[in-house]
């Protein structure tokens, strides 16, 4: 196993001391084994122990908790599902687009409540969200989405005009915005590591630097997982491996990893922030397919992410660094906020998100009811994974609930083709997104 230096993987992963738990050595027998120490795995463990405190639960993470997307993301606790509400409505129908949004509202509220209930120190703030229109075409795109939301009977989102948005965050590029109070911002590494403390307090055994290298079933319908120095005999397994799931036999065609990238400035001074305003500190995205997402950190650094994405061929997961995207993001900061043209950058990183062929999440049973998986959170999994943890726990406990009845649970997922077709298909989808964006920019 390559022991990765997780501190290099994002700024967030440098913002707190961290004590690793020991790897698995030897054999253990558990009720539920969870593979993957991101938000999905951590919250599944939490909800399992909350429902049945006597359950014997172990969580195995190949590197450290928060090593994947959960320790590297932009930190938006937001309602966006899949790519857009319009695309979800086209693919699944309007009723399901409504269901998805309501699930996401509940997910945002769940994350906020969990942070409060468990006193997790993750710099949580709840400043709301602006999806800004940077051209008349994007203004039309946003207004269509808001109309659709209203037609579906969804509230909490309104259009604000150019003056109103610039009064909040002053960029010469803004022509108006989707404004939505239901959005929080977190420090994702602090949240991941805070979760580890919570679940260990509940009695979950956490093993780090313990990659699961094989999974097989026994005659008595138990599942055997092996790690380099150990073996787990489990009644149930939850595969919370998200963007790494193409490396897991059985779910390898359900998703592909796609990398999104971030640059981070030094802390902005009051003088630098003054022309921008941003007193309410909202999270901001634009309306491109290949979005920009940006926010302030607790110490007033500007985090700017998105713009373009990276693919990897086959099993390669080494795409965190993309100098041309980093360069482009810095140029974008200067364009969006001209007063920051000379700002200094301290960090840049990337991480993989999980993408299904229809850009929609998918979770459920893998064949029999003793293996559960979750994939496809895209770049909008911070809130989603927290509610998915509750859904995965219900699935593991074989409870039928409103969560397990959600349309993306146990749905059919169209498989990604094998390489080289997978790369051709990914590039074709990306090219179509680029063309659409170019027409709107």
Ligand X SMILES: Cc1cc2nc3c(=O)[nH]c(=O)nc-3n(C[C@H](O)[C@H](O)[C@H](O)COP(=O)(O)OP(=O)(O)OC[C@H]3O[C@@H](n4cnc5c(N)ncnc54)[C@H](O)[C@@H]3O)c2cc1C
- Give the binding site for ligand X (CB under 6 A): 35-41, 60-63, 67-70, 72-76, 78, 211-212, 240-244, 260, 262, 293, 305, 350-353, 377, 379-383, 385
223 φ/ψ angles, rounded to the nearest 5 degrees: -115, 135
d(CA 24, CA 227): 7
Rounded to 5 degrees, φ, ψ at 177 are -160, 155
Q: Which is nearer to ligand X, 139 or 264 (CB)?
A: 264
Question: Closest approach of Cβ 344 to ligand X, in Å?
Answer: 21
Smallest gap from residue 70 Cβ to ligand X (A):
3
Least Å from the CB of residue 393 to ligand X = 14
Please choose, from the candidates 291, 268, 263, 266, the residue with its C-alpha nearest in 3D space to the C-alpha of residue 281: 268
Smallest gap from Cβ 38 to ligand X, in A, equals 2
Find the residue with minimal CB distance to ligand X.
381
CB of 381 to ligand X, least distance (A): 2
Rg of the chain's alpha carbons, rounded to an integer?
A: 21
| Bridge partners, 159 (sequence order) | 178
Q: What is the DSSP string of 118-184?
A: TT--S--B---EEEEE-SHHHHHHHHHHHHHHHHTT--S-EEEEHHHHHHHB--TT-SEEEEES--E
Neighbours of 175 (CB within 10 A): 16
Tell me whether residue 35 or residue 120 sits nearer to ligand X (CB atom). Answer: 35
What is the closest distance, in whole angstroms, from the C-beta atom of residue 270 to ligand X in the complex?
26
Q: What is the DSSP string of 264-327?
A: EEEEPPHHHHTTTB-TT--EEEESSSS-EEEEE-TT-EEEEEEEEEEE--TT-------HHHHH
Closer to ligand X by CB, 82 or 176: give it: 82
* Residue 139 or 395 having the CB closest to ligand X: 395
Residues 122 and 386: their CA atoms lie apart, in Å, by 15
Output 166 or 283, the one with its CB closest to ligand X: 283
Nearer to ligand X among residue 354 and residue 370 (C-beta): 354
CB of residue 213 vs ligand X: minimum separation in angstroms? 7
Min dist. Cβ of residue 203 to ligand X (A): 20
Query: Closest CB to ligand X among 139 and 309?
Result: 309
Backbone angles phi, psi at 87, to 5 degrees: -70, -40
Pick 85 or 139: Cβ nearer ligand X: 85
User: Rounded to whole angstroms, how far apart are CA atoms 7 and 304?
Assistant: 19
Closer CB to ligand X, 276 or 353, in the complex: 353
Q: How far lies 288's CA from each of 84, 100, 228, 233, 266, in Å?
A: 10, 21, 43, 46, 26
Gap between the Cα atoms of 376 and 359, Å rounded: 7
Q: Minimum distance from CB of 219 to ligand X (Å)?
A: 24
């Amino acid at each position: 196993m390559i022991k990765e230096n997780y501190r290099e993987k994002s700024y967030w992963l440098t913002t707190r001391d961290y004590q690793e738990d020991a790897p698995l050595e030897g054999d253990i027998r558990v009720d539920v084994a969870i593979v993957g120490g991101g938000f999905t795995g951590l919250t599944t463990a939490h909800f399992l122990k909350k429902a049945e405190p006597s359950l014997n639960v172990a969580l195995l993470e190949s590197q450290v908790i928060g090593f994947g997307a959960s320790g590297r993301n932009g930190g938006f606790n937001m309602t966006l599902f899949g790519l857009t509400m319009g695309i979800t409505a086209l693919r699944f129908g309007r009723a399901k687009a409504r269901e998805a949004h309501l699930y996401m509202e509940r997910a945002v509220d769940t994350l906020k409540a969990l942070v409060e209930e468990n006193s997790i120190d993750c710099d949580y703030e709840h400043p709301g969200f602006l999806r800004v229109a940077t051209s008349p075409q994007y203004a039309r795109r946003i207004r269509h989405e808001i109309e659709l939301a209203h037609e579906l009977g969804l509230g909490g989102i309104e259009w604000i005009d150019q003056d109103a948005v610039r009064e909040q965050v002053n960029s010469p590029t803004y022509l108006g915005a989707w404004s939505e109070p239901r959005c929080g911002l977190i420090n994702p590494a602090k949240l991941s590591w805070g979760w580890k403390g919570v679940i260990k307090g509940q009695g979950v055994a956490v093993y780090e630097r313990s990659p699961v290298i094989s999974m097989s079933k026994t005659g008595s319908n138990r599942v055997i997982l092996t790690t380099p120095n150990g073996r787990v005999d489990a009644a149930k397994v939850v595969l919370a491996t998200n963007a790494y799931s193409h490396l897991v036999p059985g779910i390898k065609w359900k998703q592909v990893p796609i990398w999104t990238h971030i640059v981070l400035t030094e802390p902005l001074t009051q003088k630098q922030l003054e022309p921008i305003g941003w007193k309410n500190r909202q999270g901001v995205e634009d309306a491109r397919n290949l979005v920009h997402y940006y926010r302030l950190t607790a110490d007033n650094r500007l985090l700017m992410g998105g713009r373009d994405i990276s693919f990897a061929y086959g099993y390669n997961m080494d795409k965190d660094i993309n100098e041309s995207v980093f360069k482009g993001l810095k140029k974008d900061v200067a364009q969006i906020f001209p007063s920051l043209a000379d700002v200094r950058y301290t960090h840049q990183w990337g991480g993989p998100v999980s993408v299904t062929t229809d850009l929609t999440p998918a979770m459920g049973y893998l064949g029999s009811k003793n293996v559960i998986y979750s994939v496809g959170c895209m770049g909008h999994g911070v809130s989603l994974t927290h509610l998915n943890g509750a859904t995965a726990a219900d699935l593991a406990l074989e409870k039928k609930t409103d969560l397990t009845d959600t349309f993306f649970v146990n749905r059919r997922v169209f498989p990604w083709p094998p390489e080289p077709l997978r790369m051709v298909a990914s590039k074709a989808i990306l090219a179509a997104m680029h063309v659409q964006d170019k027409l709107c920019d």
